[in-house]
Amino acid sequence: YIRVPLITIDNIYQRYRIYPTAQTVTWKSTNFKTILTWEPLPTDYSYTVEFSPVARDKQRNSNCIRISTTMCDLTSSLADLNSCYVADVLSEPPLGVTSDLTEFPHTSSSRFCPANDTDIGRPDFKLEVSDNKKTTTLYVTDPLTALFRDGRQLNIRDIFSDKLHYKVTYRKNKSSGKKVFISPTSVIELSALDQGESYCFNVQAFIPSRSIDKQLGEFSQTQCSDDDEQSFFEVYSVGVIVAVILLILLLIIITVVIIVCCRRKKGALKTEKEGVPLQSI
């Protein structure tokens, strides 16, 4: 009669246990900051991520082995931006637990090609109107990426070079009619504008070589030029105008009250003076 400890039975269970597979494996990438995400959070197991260029040997990121989270930052691992990658999320025992399984259950991702699939974020730009009011120039700042070369952070112009264009959408202030201008450079001159009118501008990156659904980046914030012929009511808000009117009315009322009080005081003094009898000499 040999007594088998319960811990041995538990070890056997752990060594041959099949763990739940990851679900909803998704690439999320903006400006080449690339994260692989999935579900659900593990309870008593862990995840390991393997990735590779299509049809090549698999690799691992040291930060994504036996992890208890549901994301893996692969930004620095996808070195060849023009390649396409696939990733596998393996369900494995937690750290410190061994297994006799030769293959672990896994879920594969879709194909991801950094140069074609990363989203391009919102650009910033400065607005300058010429002295003669005939030309408006937009100075666009190329969005920074999550990539570095020789200690310098790269922007999207460094990556896409002459493939990068900018799409400018503009309209007259307080008008819904829009026009579009495509520029191959980050300095954009617009001269076909009505002199003295205020215009509003939006800018977004435009990469014609990509698939249609990935050609355009995120819209910039809207910026509007000044209107030289704005009326008083366009320059100042309704709240400011009402406040000024109320202040003027208040000053008028105070002035009227002071005048009335002064006149009444003078009248009272005159009446009091007339009612005093003359003293005999």
Kindly report, residue by residue over 33-61, the tens digit of the pLDDT: 999 999 999 998 999 999 999 888 999 99
**In this structure, is residue 224 part of a structural domain?**
yes
Q: For the residues of the chain, what is the DSSP string, one character each?
A: --PPPHHHHHHHHHHTPPPPPPEEEEEEEETTEEEEEEE---SS-EEEEEEEETTS--EE-GGGSSBSSSEEE-TTT---TTS-EEEEEEEEPPTT-----SS--EEEPPPB-HHHHSBP---EEEEEE-TTSS-EEEEEEPPEEEEEETTEEEEHHHHHGGG-EEEEEEEETT----EEEEESSSEEEE--S-TT--EEEEEEEE-TTS-GGGSB-PPPPPEE---TT--HHHHS-HHHHHHHHHHHHHHHHHHHHHHHHHHHHHHHHHHHHHTSPPPP-
Q: Domain boundary residue among 117, 147, 168? A: 117
| Same structural domain, 79 and 159 | no
Domain count, the chain: 2
- Residue 120: pLDDT over 80: yes
| Same structural domain, 143 and 220 | yes
| Domain of residue 170, residue span | 124-229
**In this structure, is residue 247 part of a structural domain?**
no
Q: Domain boundary residue among 117, 138, 173? A: 117
CB-based contact 38:26 (threshold 8 Å): yes
What local confidence, expressed as pLDDT, does residue 193 receive? Answer: 87
| Same structural domain, 11 and 74 | yes
| Same structural domain, 106 and 17 | yes
Q: Domain boundary residue among 209, 229, 249? A: 229
| Same structural domain, 110 and 10 | yes
| Same structural domain, 70 and 101 | yes
**In this structure, is residue 254 part of a structural domain?**
no
List 223's β-bridge partners, or say none.
201
CB-based contact 173:224 (threshold 8 Å): yes
pLDDT per position as a tens digit, 216-237: 999 999 999 986 554 555 445 6
Provide φ and ψ at 247, rounded to 5°: -65, -40
**In this structure, is residue 173 part of a structural domain?**
yes
Mean pLDDT for all residues in the chain: 87
| Same structural domain, 136 and 107 | no
- The percent of residues above 90 in pLDDT, for the chain, comes to 62
**In this structure, is residue 253 part of a structural domain?**
no
**In this structure, is residue 242 part of a structural domain?**
no
What local confidence, expressed as pLDDT, does residue 281 receive? Answer: 45
What local confidence, expressed as pLDDT, does residue 124 receive? Answer: 97
What local confidence, expressed as pLDDT, does residue 3 receive? Answer: 53
- Residue 242: pLDDT over 60: yes
The pTM (predicted TM-score) of the whole model is 0.73
Cβ neighbours of residue 90 closer than 8 Å, sequence gap 6 or more? 47, 48, 49, 50, 104, 105, 106
* CATH number of 140's domain: 2.60.40.10
What local confidence, expressed as pLDDT, does residue 197 receive? Answer: 87
Sign of the alpha-carbon dihedral angle for 129, 126, 213, 58: positive
**In this structure, is residue 102 part of a structural domain?**
yes
